Amino acid sequence: MSKICDICGGSSPDEAKFCRKCGKQNFSNSNAENNLEINEDDFYEQAWLEVENSTQIKKLWAKAFVQCDGDEEKTKVMYLKFRVENLKKEAEEKLNLSQQQFKKQPINVESEDIQVQNLLESFLKKNGIHVSKKISNIEYIVSHQSTPIDSTIKYINGTWRIK
């Protein structure tokens, strides 16, 4: 069985996090939505697919080309390094933005109130933050869908806080 990309219609293996044809992360009914962690390898895979499919970001490619004195093979390697760093920064920025939005809207609840726990989980999901692991009724490990960075969210003094 394979996944079908929403953008280009390309087919990729079930374990793929990025389309093998266009490099985008857009699968219908994909298992990738259920996978709460994206590790650095996924960033390398995306960057590699961009090089393979000639869909590189032009300004990064030009920067790599200049730094490698026009050597095509070295340019590929340099582009991969630049692109992975950019993807990491983007993921961290998305996580930070989600954390800031969450901090602006604290949810005050009693730790045993399941209905409010569901509201918390709904809020996290709406902001692209997923519960990776429930430690207890008052503590969860959460991650943003596009970053390998996990955070802990804990109920402290009547407020949910991301640490």
Confidence at residue 113, expressed as pLDDT on a 0 to 100 scale: 57
Confidence at residue 104, expressed as pLDDT on a 0 to 100 scale: 63
Does residue 149 register a pLDDT over 50? yes
Phi and psi for 13 in degrees, rounded to 5? -60, 155
User: For residue range 107-134, what is the model confidence (pLDDT) as tens digits?
Assistant: 444 444 565 566 677 767 776 777 777 7
Task: Report the alpha-carbon distance of residue 59 to residue 71 in Å, rounded.
Answer: 16
**Cα angle: 21, vertex 26, 32; to 5 degrees:** 105
User: For residue range 60-115, what is the model confidence (pLDDT) as tens digits?
Assistant: 999 999 999 999 999 999 999 999 999 988 888 877 777 676 666 554 444 445 65
Confidence at residue 116, expressed as pLDDT on a 0 to 100 scale: 56
Determine contact, residues 155/138, Cβ cutoff 8 Å: yes
List the chain domain ranges: 1-35, 106-162
Confidence at residue 76, expressed as pLDDT on a 0 to 100 scale: 95
Confidence at residue 71, expressed as pLDDT on a 0 to 100 scale: 96
Alpha helices in the chain (DSSP H): 40-52, 58-67, 72-104, 114-126
User: For residue range 8-66, what is the model confidence (pLDDT) as tens digits?
Assistant: 667 777 777 777 777 766 665 443 333 334 568 889 999 999 999 999 999 999 999 99
- Tell which residue, 135, 133, 158, has the closest CA to residue 143: 133
